Amino acid sequence: MELDKIKMLLDKYFDAETTLEEEQVLQDYFSSNEVAIELQEYIPLFNFRKIERDIEFNHSLPKRGNQGLYKWFAVAASIAIIGGLFLFNDIKNEPELGTYEDPQVALQKTKDVLNMVSFYMNQGQENLEYVSEFGEVTNKIIKTP
Amino acid sequence: MKKSILILAVSLMMPFIGAAQDLTKYENMKDVTSMVMTSKMFKLLSNIDFSSEDKEVQAYSDLIEDLENIMVFVSEKPEIRKQMAADVQQYLKNSKLDELMRVTDDGKTVKFYSKPGRNSEYVSELFMFLESTDKEEPATVILRITGDINLKDVSKLTQDLKVPGAEELKNIETKK
């Protein structure tokens, strides 16, 4: 009776023709304690299916530990990049020509500067007379923009 | 941990922050007379027709041609002068300039610093720091010239002048 039915379902099962309900019947039968001796060899098969289906993941997912650290690396890198941009902007932001737009004025001022440098340089090498007079004049030259 | 990384990042950037501050901050400062000339201006100047028969003019044009940048900052305010002295100290330390010479005369101290250029006659940077403790006109002058500078040529500019150089000096004054 029931045994015949189970055997028939088993045959169907191995032919892969069972429905889900019929498989459930087989499952129930093999997990009960009344399995006929001749069918006991199939117990592991159905138990295995049951065990596999019941597996659950109980552990907590591991956290990505280094994320916090990397975040700060990113912060540091962006600060460095922004700082770098400022640094180079500084150089580029220089006025195109400088204080003077008029080349003639600039030329004169450049000469004055070179004169002053030259003067003090020579002063270091030899003792000139009238040094203070020249110094005052140079001071005036350099003061007026 | 996070804090230490932030501190590390900031401290790594400190030299850059310092360098960025540099001396250019004086350019737009109140009570500072500043003068800046860039390589573009010098390019422009080198295109000007120097009436080249004049030896003296030729000497200037040769020098100017190879200049990159001139910066001059002058101040008479005691606070700013103090700050300038400190900043110059820092600048000299950072940019590793060699002391060229020191001149003390009549209440003025002039110090020259330079950075080696392509050979022993040339310097790539000439830095002058002048402090005048004159009672009537105390002043501090920072002067920085970069480029390809021949020190001999610079010193020649006023060498021939000697005394009496009065006429030469008058010329400079009237031209301004």
When mean pLDDT is compared across A104-108, B67-71, B142-146, the lowest value belongs to A104-108
Over residues B35-48, the pLDDT tens digits come to: 888 888 888 877 77
Write the DSSP string, A18-67: --HHHHHHHHHHHHSS---GGGGGGHHHHHHHHHHHH----SPPPP-TTH
What integer is the mean pLDDT of B4-24?
65
Neighbours of A93 (CB within 10 A): 9
Which candidate from A97, A120, A142 shows the least CB-CB separation from B40? A97
The ipTM assigned to this model is 0.71
**Predicted confidence band at B129 (pLDDT cuts at 50, 70, 90)?**
very high
Kindly list the distances between the CA atom of residue A59 and the CA atoms of A56, A63, B85, in Å, as whole numbers in the listed order: 9, 12, 67
A112, A121, A126, best to mutate vs chain B, most B CBs in 10 Å: A121
Chain mean pLDDT for chain B: 79
Q: List pLDDT tens digits, range B18-35.
A: 444 478 888 888 888 888
Cis peptide before A62 (omega within 30 of 0): no
**Amino acid A134: pLDDT:** 52
Interface size, chain A vs chain B, as Cβ–Cβ contacts under 8 Å: 172
Q: A-contacting residues of B 136-175, CB under 8 Å?
A: 137, 139, 141, 143, 145, 151, 154-159, 162-165, 169, 172-173, 175
Helix or strand run (H / E) with residue B127: strand B122-132
pLDDT string in tens for chain A (145-residue length)? 578 888 888 888 889 888 888 888 888 888 887 788 888 888 888 888 778 888 888 888 777 666 667 788 889 999 999 888 877 655 544 456 677 778 788 888 888 888 888 888 887 765 444 444 555 556 666 654 4
B151-154 contacts, C-beta under 8 A, 24 or more apart: B151/A121, B151/B114, B151/B121, B151/B122, B151/B123, B151/B126, B152/B121, B153/B59, B153/B62, B153/B63, B154/A114, B154/A117, B154/A118, B154/A121, B154/B63, B154/B126
What is the per-residue pLDDT across B85-125, written as a single tens digit (0 to 9) for each? 999 998 888 888 888 888 887 788 889 999 988 888 889 99
